[in-house]
Amino acid sequence: MAASIESLLAGLSGIDDPIEELQSLKTALLAIPVNALRDSVSGQRFNVIFTLLNSNDREQVELCVDILEHILMALSPVSLAQNYRVELQGGLTHPNEAVKILALTQIGRMVEHPDATTEILNNHDILETVIRCIGEEKLAVAKQAIQSLSKLSHSKPGLDKLFHTDLLTVMKDVMAKSDTIRYRIYELVVEISSVSPISLGYCANSSLISQLLGELTGDDVLIRATAIEMVTTLAHSQHGRQYLAQQGIMDKISNMIRGAETDPLSSLYIPGLVKFFGNLAIMDSPQQVCETYPIFQNKVFEMALDPDPAMIGVALDTLGLVGSTVEGKQVFQKTGEKFKAVLTRMSQLASSGATELRVRSLDAISQLLTLQPEQQTEDLLALTESWFHLLSKQPMDMISNISTQPFPELHCGALRIFSAIASQPWGQKLMINTPSFMEFILDRSTGQTKEAKDAKFELVGTLVCSSTAAEILGSQHYIRLKTYLREGPYYVSAVSIVSTEGAE
């Protein structure tokens, strides 16, 4: 096979129309098992394929890219750096985006390997060109460049090269091209900052983070909204949150929510501010965040009652996120009538309205009602039971009615609520006392999509795994549930068809 690849490569030299030969080479390479490919291609020189990239024939270029993708992935990063560095650097400035992405992907592989990284760090021009690729028109090229540079920053030499040489000036030059490209550089900086406190220090000292934070209060509300997304990503790491707190950003965002009431354009950025605090609450402490920044919780409740679907959607997601934690549930419960009004609104949204909001309501309700077995204290069980009964006068009927509607996403959302209460004794008692409910659970003919079958299977599994289910549901139902679980989510019972001679 190696000999045939060698002869195919030799046959490509000096041909005016190499399409047929390239297709033969691609076929030959695809026929080689992945584990044997490295032995087949190592030692061969594929420079002729790189040369054939310099063509206006799109089919020829695409074939070359396909072949090189296959070959280069089989080679070690060190082998790439030693033998194809110049060719890959040329690929970075190729007019075809697929060639650029190929080169950037391989450079990304190299910078993950200590020995190959050294080769790249010693080649200033490659790194400068990769940075300039962030300013490319095609987003896919920019994304791949960001990914490769982010990998480079996992080492101190990489950080030194990006932030302590004139490459920092190159980054700032690229940023100046447009608002869109400026935010691509911010995306890179936030990714690098998230790796470790040390990498955050490099980014902070470069002034790029303070520039990003300054955009939070800029005049352009769309830029402000994008900045909030970036800052939320930065807050995902503990050292990122500490840095933001030191810079007073939490207080600033809290004040922005407060000031938004007089801003007619606030609907463009308020959802981002609320998401920021929602993420913060989950990562730190819902109680601490809600008590320190009460405007956040008040705004979420207000948005849940808002007529604007965009506001409602973010409020539902945030309520579900924060309320998925025990601490979040307790914080909401303390607000008394305020939260009861929100729950009533969530119930209304789940029962009627636009499908997307119905699904988000159902998901939020299931998160609010979920209690892991180890969390099931008497107080918390009483809390979730009281919330369930606030949904409707007949909440089991209400959720059952939603589960029978011909929309798979609503059917699955309703089943997730039943799964949420299935591990709790009060939920099991409601199930056994609701006529025909156990038959509904065990009926495999309802919900024929894969998602519906998986959701039903999860519900059955939750019941079977509960320590109280056998006693509350009774042994007959419990044995049938265990059989359902053993048979799996997609089991179909064999039906014998008897044909009667002479039947119509």
pLDDT reported for residue 13? 65
pLDDT tens for 150-174 read: 998 899 999 999 999 999 999 999 9
The CB density around residue 499, as the number of other CB atoms within 10 Å, is: 5
Percent of the chain scoring above 90 in pLDDT: 73
The residue among 381, 340, 341, 345 whose CA lies nearest residue 361 is 345
User: Which pLDDT value is given to residue 504?
Assistant: 41
Take residue 282 and report the two structure tokens written for it. Answer: 């989950």
Tokens of 117: 């990284």
Flag the least confident range among 72-76, 365-369, 490-494. 490-494
Q: Is residue 66 within 8 Å of 33, Cβ to Cβ?
A: no
The torsion defined by the Cα of 414, 416, 421 and 424, in degrees rounded to 10, comes to 160
> What one-letter code names the amino acid at 52?
L
Distance between CA atoms of residues 321 and 275, nearest Å = 10
3-class SS at 460? helix
Q: Please give the residue that has the higher pLDDT: either 299 or 43.
A: 299
The gap between the terminal CA atoms of the chain, to the nearest Å, is: 63
Mean pLDDT throughout 396-414?
Answer: 92
The residue written with tokens 């800052």 in the block is: 231
Determine how many CB atoms are found less than 10 A away from the CB of residue 366. 21
Residues 70, 65: Cα–Cα separation, whole Å: 9
Sign, Cα dihedral of 359, 365, 368, 370: negative
Highest mean pLDDT among 44-53, 118-127, 317-326: 317-326
Cα 176 to its chain centre, rounded Å, is 29
Would you place residue 437 in the very low, low, confident or very high pLDDT band (cuts 50, 70, 90)?
Answer: very high
pLDDT of residue 217: 85
Is the pLDDT at 464 greater than 50? The verdict is: yes
Rounded to two decimals, what is the model's pTM?
0.83
Taking 90 as the threshold, does the pLDDT of residue 246 lie above it?
Answer: yes
pLDDT recorded at residue 34: 72
Question: Per-residue confidence at 14, pLDDT binned at 50, 70, 90?
Answer: low
Secondary structure, 3-state, 6-23: HHHHHHHCCCCCCHHHHH
Q: Which residue has the higher pLDDT, 217 or 425?
A: 425
> pLDDT band at residue 42, thresholds of 50, 70 and 90?
low
Cβ 188 vs Cβ 146: under 8 Å: yes
What is the reported pLDDT for 496? 37
pLDDT computed for residue 494 by the predictor: 61
State the pLDDT at residue 25: 84
Confidence at 46, pLDDT banded by 50, 70, 90: confident
**pLDDT of res. 5:** 67
Distance CA 235, CA 146 (A): 19
Confidence of residue 491 (pLDDT cuts 50, 70, 90): confident
Interval 104-118 mean pLDDT: 92
Q: Is the pLDDT of residue 500 over 60?
A: no
68, HSE (Cβ side, Cα atoms, 13 Å): 29
